Homo-oligomer: A and B are copies of this chain.
Amino acid sequence: MTPEEFRKAGHELIDWIADYREQVPDLPVRAQVKPNEVRDALPKTAPDSPESFETVLSDLQNIVVPGVTQVQHPMHYGWFPSNASLSSVLGDIASSGLGTLGISWESCPALTEVEQVVCDWLRQLTGLSEAWHGSIHDTASTACVTAMILAREKASGLSKNHGGLPASSAPLIIYSTRQAHSSIAKAVQLAGFGNDNLRYIDEDPYTRAMKPEALAAAITEDRSAGNIPAGIVCSVGATGTTAMDPIDAIADIANAEDIWLHVDAAMAGSAMLLPECRHLWHGVEKADSVAWNPHKWMGTILDTALMYVRDVDHLERVMSTNPSYLRSTADGEVVQYRDWGIPLGRRFRALKLWFHLRLDGPDAIRERMRRDLENAQWFKQQIESMEGWEVLAPVDLQTVCIRHTPMDDDGQLLSGDALDKYTLSWVDIINSSGEAFMSPSVLDGRWMVRVSIGVEGTERSHLEKLIELLKHNTQ
């Protein structure tokens, strides 16, 4: 395709995107397609000859869009917000247009250096000190795998350079809680620790925060048993209820015991743009690594996860390679981001953050998130004032965990499996309708519903509409 053909198709595509984004509020929130419906609508083999752009665009509209769950819809309250601000989309488009290759500083100096700049901008915007050095990963899951490998290599004296984990004299132990995101257990398994060596530390029964004294006791017990405590993963805004582990107290233990502390702030990191929220990760300066996702609430389009570490020397010792075909005269003077993570090649993701922060400005982003925090408090109060409804966890951020408990036919409060069935039933009715979407989730062995507020377009009026839906679809 020539630049002139691209120009023509590109203009059509921009108009299509703008029209699409305008239509999003009128589309069903959850995709209404059945399993394999999209797949069955597409040819089983690639075309032999080129097709027209109009044909492809038409399939995008008629086959793909019905298969998209509209996470940019103002009535989307599922999982966590996954905002794709149009200013960051422009940065993503610029990145695509440039067609750069990020495998070394030399292969695209600007890719490396704009990434350094925007990671440092966000370091400052979230109140982290100059001790932290950041880079962009695809997801917080990948950042967590990286952190677990860093912890493993610290505790094992760089075993990767020698006999690896099979040569370990004792099991290496990771500590977290059951509230931690599923990617934590996965990272522990992928990094080779083994699931038996992941300790779930007791939580406070209401806040779901890790109990530091229980952590200290577990570490002592492991040391007595001859095990090697290697890493701690704290959650700031855990997925279920946005639980906040007490970083400060945990970091004191980690530092005293010389154990790697990773802070998974995938969701709550965005909140740290607000000075009034920073108490939620008080003590973070004493951690070893921190990851969070601008591609969630802050709204830089996925995939944009940030990982900060303090000890860059350790990071590079663990992650670096230096093959002859990637060497250049600039080595030693510049950062080689390939030595900061798993993949060698990287896209020019920094442009997404650069465009987003420059075109929207931090103040507008903060204002939007403050709106969401207020909406969450308002919504919490509404739920608490409604007969039969309860809010099940603290609302420190923008996610409200709710449950409705009706009377059964005998005038008794519904409970047990019957309550689970009822909960899953009403949320499924709403989700299936396409009018709103929420995520059911299990808390203390019982289903509840997470209402995660924070889509760019979600205003108070949308929450009022959600309240009506809740009332209308429950007994």
Contact status A159-B194, CB under 8 Å: yes
**Chain B residues, Cβ within 8 Å of A113:** 36-39, 42, 67
- Nearest Cβ distance between residue A328 and chain B, in whole angstroms? 9
- In the assembled complex, the CB of A412 is this many whole angstroms from the nearest CB of chain B, namely 26
**Is A440 in contact with B324, judged by CB distance below 8 angstroms?**
yes
Instruction: Determine whether the beta carbon of B106 is less than 8 Å from that of A69.
Output: yes
Contact A100 B343 (CB under 8 A): no
Which residue of B has the minimal Cβ distance to A346? B303
Inter-subunit contact A86/B3 (CB<8 Å):
yes
Q: Which of A39, A346, A347 has the most CB of B within 10 A?
A: A39
Cβ of A413 within 8 Å of any chain B Cβ, yes or no, is: no
Q: Which of A385-425 contact B (CB under 8 A)?
A: none
A68 sits at the interface (CB 8 A):
yes
Contact of A14 with B14 in the complex, beta carbons under 8 Å: yes
- Give Cα A47 to B111, complex, Å: 20
Encode contact with B along A89-103: 1 for CB under 8 Å, 0 otherwise: 110111011111111
Residue of B nearest to A428 (CB): B329
Contact A439 B3, beta carbon cutoff 8 Å: no
- Within 8 Å CB of A378, what residues of B? none
Q: How many angstroms from the CA of A43 to the CA of B354 in the assembled complex? A: 11
A52-69 residues with Cβ-Cβ distance < 8 A to B are 53, 55-56, 60, 63-69
Interface residues in A82-125 by Cβ distance below 8 A to B read 82-87, 89-90, 92-94, 96-103, 105-111, 113-114, 116-117, 120-122, 124-125
How far does the alpha carbon of A221 sit from the alpha carbon of B269 in the complex, in Å? 51
Say yes or no: A108 contacts B69, CB within 8 Å: yes
Given contact pairs A166-B193, A192-B192, a sample of 19 additional A-B residue pairs in the complex whose CB atoms are under 8 Å apart: A3-B22, A7-B15, A30-B106, A45-B124, A72-B99, A79-B107, A79-B325, A82-B101, A99-B302, A159-B192, A160-B189, A163-B171, A163-B197, A164-B165, A164-B193, A165-B193, A166-B197, A167-B194, A182-B322
